Chain A
Amino acid sequence: MSHHKLEAKNLHFNYPDGHNAVKGMSFSIHHGESVGIIGANGAGKSTLLMLLMGVLFPNQGEVCVGDVQVTKKTLPMIRQRLGMVFQDPDDQLFMNTVYDDVAFGPRNYKLNEKEVEKRVLNALEVVGILHLKDRAPFKLSGGEKRAAAIASVLSMQPDILVMDEPTAALDPKSRRRVMELLRSFKHTKIVTSHDLDMIYEMCDRTIVIKNGEIAADGVTSEILVNAELMDACGLEVPLALQNCPVCGSKK
């Protein structure tokens, strides 16, 4: 399925204040892959996602979804196929009930209200918060908010799911739930995080970013054990791969 391919070709991006946040990144992601993007704070992960989604446009280089280049013109079409979950669910849940929020996307694509309802209920069912559909977002817990934010993207039935730090600020149980949820999503996944244990469990492939450049790109299990690389990029080998603190044995 080549039309699900996501390709970044030599991306460069400067913020208006001149800060050069992305310096020549290239990669391509195939259908069904789950890719982790890791890097220290300020490495440029969020900026890269914005470029992929067409929220920002590169100063140089291009992003292609399938065979279509991401431009202002192709955005409506592209955005139906890419769904993005923001880092702070409060930015994403801007309506006053969970239902309205999950319905926001489908309604914008002018689906009739029956179809909207079907999609909303389905998305809420998938993330397991059907019972919260009439709640106001400010009355949800952190984990519930995250689930609602994911549902609001799933209701658009995207082919590619992009997530910015989905497990940040979650307690262990909620984190586990979100991870299971993501695993159940069968299409392409792109996830940024500092939660390297999560990346280790969820993603087959990992791209490491350092100061706006790609420092490494390869199989997760090989990259995350590379202590030297991790250290150079302001990261750390995930706990699951470190020596056992109790018995000292190598994992």
Chain B
Amino acid sequence: MHMADALISPVVGGAMWAATAGVAAYSIKKVQTEMDEKKIPLMGVMGAFIFASQMINFTIPATGSSGHIGGGLILAILLGPYAGFLTIASVLAIQALFFADGGLLAYGCNVFNMGFFSCFIAYPLIYKVLMKKEYSTTRIFLASVLTAVIGLQLGAFGVVLETLFSGKTELPFGTFVLLMQPIHLAIGVVEGLVTAAIATYIWNARPEIMEKASSGETIGNISIKKVVAGLVAAAVVTGAGLSWFASSNPDGLEWAMIKTAGTAELEATGGLHQQLSDLQSKTAFLPDYSFKASEEEPEPSGGEGEEAWPAVDGGTSTSGLVGGSLTLILAALVGGGISLMKRRKYRINS
């Protein structure tokens, strides 16, 4: 459930980055102060393990299909929530950079969806509570499946909210939820079952690993509260700051707020955008430039606070088509030209 850059707005991306950075900073502090430095290589290599283990296809009984694990839960179980969260964060960073799985702007969203919910909500509130009394095979299975399912449901819901707040798709909320949640219910069950199988094996083979992971962690009520509070604060501050910045762009947060409030406020008012369009009209060198007109007369339709539909008349569309093709051709020419020059230089040199 990697979010892609193309599906989010800068406001949502920025807010989630801030929230993720906050949790990560707190986790790093915890790892530094509460644990030995032995955990660092362990976290590093476990991240690589998660990567590698995602290559294993597990046959799902009675369905004929197979699935793989995300790994968030097993990390939380074996490393504890803080180190687990950081490990997921580095796995996702490498996935974003090398495999284009989720983008750099969406990185905050992804770490939050796949790391925060399983490590800081599902793990302490469900897994830890269920496993408090005793370790047994059935308990491990029950706790793992429940934790995985709830963690993934929360994560999937996060994806829905982030996408809708970003306003890039036309998917209605209900439809999106109905698309996402059931799929992730199935994924969660598989994740839980496989995680449980691994955890049981480790518990039988090297019980001290599991004991160490669960005893070293002091997830008291205080720290969880602190984490959540710091997080909400960070998200709100950045979100507010960024949306003030983008205040006239009815993209993103504002779009969602308008939508929920049910009032359509179409006029682009004040702020950066106004100044930009002022500047634009001053410097526009074509008097009959139709783009300007479209800025000033947003199409009075939709009623959902949609952004201005830029192509008002056929003339603009045609201009866009012509100019667009030209731009692309120019880009291709420049790129091709540079490559050609470089190649010629090599030939001369060699």
Contacts and interface: CB of A to CB of B under 8 A. Distances in A.
Interface of A: 16, 94
A16 B41 contact: no
A118 to B, nearest CB: 28
3 contacts: A16-B208, A94-B41, A94-B44
Contacts of A94: 41, 44
A16 B41 CA distance: 21
A16 B208 CA distance: 10
Nearest to A94: B41
Interface in B17-55: 41, 44
A94 B208 CA distance: 26
How big is chain B's contact interface, by range?
Answer: under 10
B214 to A, nearest CB: 18
A16 B207 CA distance: 12
A235 to B, nearest CB: 31
A94 B41 CA distance: 9
A54 to B, nearest CB: 15
A222 B208 CA distance: 46
Nearest to B45: A94
A81 B41 CA distance: 24
A7 B151 CA distance: 55
Contacts of B44: 94
Contacts of B208: 16
A16 B44 CA distance: 25
Contacts of A16: 208
Interface string B188-226: 000000000000000000001000000000000000000
A16 B211 CA distance: 15
B116 to A, nearest CB: 28
B269 to A, nearest CB: 51
A85 B41 CA distance: 18
B98 to A, nearest CB: 13
B212 to A, nearest CB: 12
A94 B45 CA distance: 10
A18 to B, nearest CB: 13
Contacts of B41: 94
Nearest to B44: A94
A16 B206 CA distance: 11
A16 B212 CA distance: 14
List the 3 shortest-distance A-B pairs measured between CB atoms, nearest first.
A94-B41, A16-B208, A94-B44
Interface string B136-148: 0000000000000
A94 B44 CA distance: 10
A171 B41 CA distance: 30
A42 to B, nearest CB: 19
A55 to B, nearest CB: 12
A85 B347 CA distance: 45
A237 B287 CA distance: 97
A94 B48 CA distance: 12
A94 B40 CA distance: 12
Nearest to A16: B208
